[in-house]
Amino acid sequence: MIGGLSMLGCGSGEAADTSPLPAKDTQARVDDASKKIEASSMTPEQKQAAAAYLHQGAANAEQMKKMAGAPK
């Protein structure tokens, strides 16, 4: 029986899925995350801090894209 369990996908020989995440622009990611923050059970102060952190991260991501010459 234990030998059968290893055949269910628990083997170390399987390749991990390394495909890239679906492409989204930064604003779409911010919008999705903002909705999740608002729908969460965090306190208003936590929501405000999370939103500020999110927006700072998005600004940093856009800056890095510009520096790398990547399209928006």
**pTM of this prediction?**
0.59
Contacts of 32 (CB under 8 A, 6+ apart): 24
pLDDT tens-digit profile of 44-59?
A: 999 999 999 999 999 9
Full 3-state SS string of 32-46: HHHHHHHHCCCCHHH
Question: Which residue in the block uniquely carries the two structure tokens 């604003």?
Answer: 27
Between CA 28 and CA 34 the distance in angstroms is 10
Of 57 and 71, the one with more pLDDT? 57
Domain boundary assignment for the chain: 25-30+45-72
